[in-house]
Amino acid sequence: MKNLLVSLSVIGSLAMATAALAEGECDKYTTSYDRTYCFAKLFVDSDQELNAVYKGLRDTLKGEIRVQLTSAQRDWLKYRDNSCSQGSAINVDCNYEANRKRAEFLRDRLRECRVGTCRNDVIIQRNWN
């Protein structure tokens, strides 16, 4: 339990740091190259955060709901990739925002499960719009 609390604390700190960086951080750049590079760095950080939160939630679940979460996450990744693609290029700020929102959603589900109010129907929902 102590390790779980430490892990959640680290995940929360990472999320706040990433959000603080993102809050207008890339606005200071005037060229599209510099803005894209900035958002690409934020995207990488948000991807790491998303993976950590997903793993934390997955590790708390057992049986079929765990399998269903994995399936839902794979479907979400396809949704994100399709939504944030422009031909063969990816829109890194779109990817960053999508990751941030999904990590927040999963973090809320993890909190609910920690206090004993896991709602499986919400955990595996596929309404991402």
pLDDT per residue over 9-30, tens digit each? 444 444 444 444 455 778 888 8
Distance CA(40)–CA(91), nearest Å, equals 9
Output the CA–CA distances (angstroms, integers) from residue 16 to 61, 74, 80, 111, in the order listed.
25, 25, 22, 16
11 within 8 A of 56, measured Cβ to Cβ: yes
The rounded mean pLDDT for the chain is 84
pLDDT for the residue numbered 40: 84
Distance CA(50)–CA(98), nearest Å, equals 10
**Would you say residue 64 has pLDDT above 90?**
yes
40 within 8 A of 106, measured Cβ to Cβ: no
Mean pLDDT of 97-103: 95
Higher pLDDT, 98 or 35: 98
Distance CA(18)–CA(11), nearest Å, equals 11
Which residues touch 123 (CB under 8 Å, ≥6 apart)?
A: 57, 61, 65, 68, 69, 72, 109
**Per-residue pLDDT band at 36 (split at 50, 70, 90):** confident
Q: 58-65 contacts: CB < 8 A, separation 24 or more?
A: 60/4, 60/110, 60/113, 60/114, 60/118, 61/113, 61/118, 61/123, 65/118, 65/120, 65/123, 65/124
- List the beta strands (DSSP E) in the chain: 85-86, 89-90
